[in-house]
Amino acid sequence: MTKDYKQMWNNLDINLEAHDGLLAVLSDAYQNIYLSQHNRPEGMKYFDFVISEVHGLRIEEILEAKKERRKVIGTFCVYVPEEIILALDGVCIGLCAGADVGSDEAEKFIPRNTCALIKAFMGFKLAGLCPYIQTTDLIVGETTCDGKKKAYEIFDEITGGKMYVMEIPNMKGEDGRTLWRNEVKRFAKKLEAITGKMIALEKLNEASKIVNARRKALQRLSLLRSFEPSPISGLDALLINQVSFYDDPVRFTAKVSELCDELDERVKDGSGVSKKGIPRILVSGSPMAVPNWKLHAIIEGSGAAVVGEESCVGERNFGVILDDGFSSVEEGIEKIADRYMNIHCACFTPNDERLSDILDMAKRLKADGIIHYAIQFCTPYMLEAFKAKKALDNKGIPFLRIETDYSMEDMGQLKTRIEAFLEMIGKGVRV
Amino acid sequence: MKIGGIDIGSRYIKYVLLENSRLIDFQRKETGYNPMSVCGELLESSKPEKLVATGYGRYLLEIYKNTKTITEIKAVALGAKAVFPNAKTIIDIGGQDTKVISLNDKGDVTNFEMNDRCAAGTGKFLEIMAKTLGYDLEIFGQHCLDKNAGIKLNSLCTVFAESEVISLITKGEKREAISHALHDSIVSRVMSLLKRLEIKDDLIFTGGCATNACLKSMFEERLQRKVLVHDNPYLQAAHGAALYAMDS
């Protein structure tokens, strides 16, 4: 970090001692997992910098935005319509939920067998470790699973009433669509109320273009990973996707585009981050919030390449572009709602579209196998894994089902499973 | 040429030495707290020209001796196939892992399932329960009632099952009957893994727990199939590693 942010953190009620510990662990992990990689693109330097300033410069920027009376909206889910937040000059931030911190604190409020992601967002807040949560004016939750739904009730008390929950329908029919359109309208009203502004058509257009541009940049990155050998590691691509949730969207898009220009050159030369012929793995399942790099680190450490993420931190976040040809705010909000209904989260039933997405991605990215990742106790994805396996078995695509959390205690078993899977898909790993 | 295969497991390190593709030596030592020194002792005398390591501790040799490694899943498949040429399904119960593996006609692994992080249904479970009932692990399987005496253990977790066993002891249940229930609970655990695979003959049982006759007969009864166990079921993974070394 370039400067001393102690005063800023202190003002945000951060537990300075514990926070120093967290940053030290994060920095070590980053060194071991990221900076030790070979042949990284130059363009990753920006993202290394963003991570090194994850609780520093970016928080300072957000505090500056707050001085300009802009509202900070914290989110946990890709269903939260960012266009509406930006149209009202808000700052949209994906909150900290990817590390095993403050579990003991969290377990005072929620059961032990709750998924790691829920435990983490509770833990980050309770242990005073997430400056982002502290800067928020509103935290938007959503009813994507029972665990989150009930945890948000408790989180509302813990954060002094900052929670606002959007109801995500469970089925994709007409009733679901109507419910969701109404939810998006209700959200727009809520934001208008807290910002004291009305959504203007011009601003909504502009916001839609900003978010679409970011989606297109991430789509371009995804496309570049389909080349053999991939010009970028799965770890680096995962990081970029994680950063997309809290960086300034315009700057982020520019930086991803610059990186993609560099990757274009690599692809033209036929050069990549690893040698040709190593197994190509598509990861599918629960989201991996920063700094959850565990699975990618094991897979790539075992000599394979992760070429895609069918995940909310991945394709589900950028796969669908918004139809931004609208001529009134009402029409815009409906189109925005409809765009988000096209995300195929396992909270829906049935959700066969997700199976098609996995198959399409496997084909497009030339994946040799799928590793299905579910956070332990993440029932929707744990269950959908069985359907996914069947669908992939039918196509003859090798499939490995993993359930894990943020701890390191199962590293041995996971390595054995993943290496055995890589041996199985026939290209050999360690020998 | 001497070729070695070493399987660094959680409880024992197993070492196989081949000469001209013939198995000339097998040793088994407790892993203990310093597996590197145990490996050193095993390798010292034989000095193999080629070596492949497998098992939970394989990285130790990879890091310190630059030894090639394969997973115990691949190793056990190669080792079982070598002694049972028609092997199609393998149950391997070791100290801390339980694995079930499917092979194709060529002996390639086509599917596998493995227990999660905890010791439920593994050798460690058996070891702790034998101790709780006052048996040596080696003879535990001989002290098992032939039939279920109506006891069912509800818990597969080693810690909870131990409390359950203690409460059965204090109720005055015969230890042979409790022993039956414990073996049965391991078999149930493995059955749930097996059901996710397509079970085909020959079905091979490997790993330290395959020395337990009670487990073998329970599998046969539940599966209504013959279960094949090698005279020395400890050595398949190490043997597989050595065979892999030979071909590489």
DSSP state of B28: E
Chain B contact present for A430, CB below 8 A: yes
A417: chain B residues, CB-CB within 8 Å: 112, 114
| Amino acid code (one letter) for A188 | A
- Average pLDDT value over all residues in chain B: 92
Distance from C-alpha of B172 to C-alpha of A36, rounded to nearest angstrom: 60
The conformation of residue B225, written as its DSSP 8-state character, comes to S
CA A380 to chain CA centroid, nearest Å: 17
Residue ranges of chain A whose pLDDT lies below 50: 427-431
**Tens digit of each residue's pLDDT (9 = 90 or more) over B26-80:** 999 999 999 999 999 999 888 899 999 999 999 999 888 889 999 999 999 999 9
**Residue in chain B nearest A389 by alpha carbon:** B196
**Residue among A326, A303, A141, A158 at smallest CA distance from A233:** A303
Which contacts of B221-226 are long-range, i.e. CB under 8 A and separated by 24 or more positions? B222/B187, B222/B191, B223/B194, B223/B199, B225/B199, B225/B201, B226/B201, B226/B202
Chain A residue with CA closest to B9: the answer is: A412
From the list A403, A423, A426, the residue facing B70 with the nearest CB is A423
**Peptide bond just before B92 cis, omega within 30 deg:** no
For tokens 């371009």, the residue is: A220
**Closest alpha carbon within chain B to A402:** B116
Which CATH number describes the domain made up of B85-229?
3.30.420.40
Work out the average pLDDT over B222-227: 96
CA distance A304 to A206: 41
Tell me the nearest-neighbour CA distance from A215 into chain B, angstroms: 37
List residues bridging with B227 in a β-sheet: B203
Judge: B52–A416 Cβ closer than 8 Å, yes or no: no
Measured torsion, CA atoms of residues B79, B60, A27, A219, in degrees rounded to the nearest 10: -20
Amino acid at A167: E
Identify the closest residue of chain B to A431 by CA–CA distance. Answer: B68
Residues of chain B with CATH 3.30.420.40: 1-84+234-248, 85-229
Inspect the interface and report whether the beta carbons of B70 and A431 lie closer than 8 Å.
yes
Chain B residues within 8 A (CB-CB) of chain A? 52, 56, 62, 68-74, 97, 108-112, 114-117, 244, 248
- CB-CB under 8 Å, A426 with B108: yes
- Are residues A129 and A9 in contact, defined by beta-carbon separation less than 8 angstroms? no
Report CB contact under 8 Å: B109, A423: yes
Q: At what angle do helices A234-243 and A44-52 cross, to 10 degrees?
A: 60
pLDDT tens, residue by residue, B54-65: 999 999 998 888
Q: What is the distance in angstroms between the Cα of A418 and the nearest Cα belonging to chain B?
A: 9
Q: Please state, in angstroms and rounded to a whole number, the distance separating the CA atoms of residues B148 and B180.
A: 7
Backbone φ/ψ region at A72: left (φ over 0), alpha (ψ -120 to 50), beta: beta
Q: Are A239 and A34 in contact (CB under 8 A)?
A: yes
- Which of A382, A389, A411, A416 would best serve as a mutation to test chain B binding (most B beta carbons within 10 A)? A416
Residues 369-428 of chain A with CB under 8 A from chain B are 403, 409-410, 412-413, 416-417, 419-420, 423-424, 426
User: What are B100-146's pLDDT values in tens digits?
Assistant: 999 999 999 999 999 876 777 788 888 999 999 999 988 898 888 77
Q: Residue B158 above 80 pLDDT?
A: no
Nearest CA in chain A to B118: A410
> Does A193 contact chain B (CB < 8 Å)?
no
CATH number of B1-84+234-248: 3.30.420.40
Asked whether the beta carbons of residue B248 and residue A426 sit closer than 8 angstroms, the reply is: no
Q: Considering the entire predicted model, what is its pTM?
A: 0.93
**What one-character DSSP code corresponds to residue B155?**
-
Contacts of A431 in chain B (CB under 8 A): 52, 68-70, 244, 248
* Alpha helices (H) in A71-195, listed in sequence order: 82-87, 103-106, 116-126, 131-135, 146-158, 174-195
Contact by Cβ (8 Å): A424, B112 = yes
For B202, residues 6+ apart whose C-beta sits below 8 A from its C-beta are B84, B86, B87, B88, B89, B226, B228
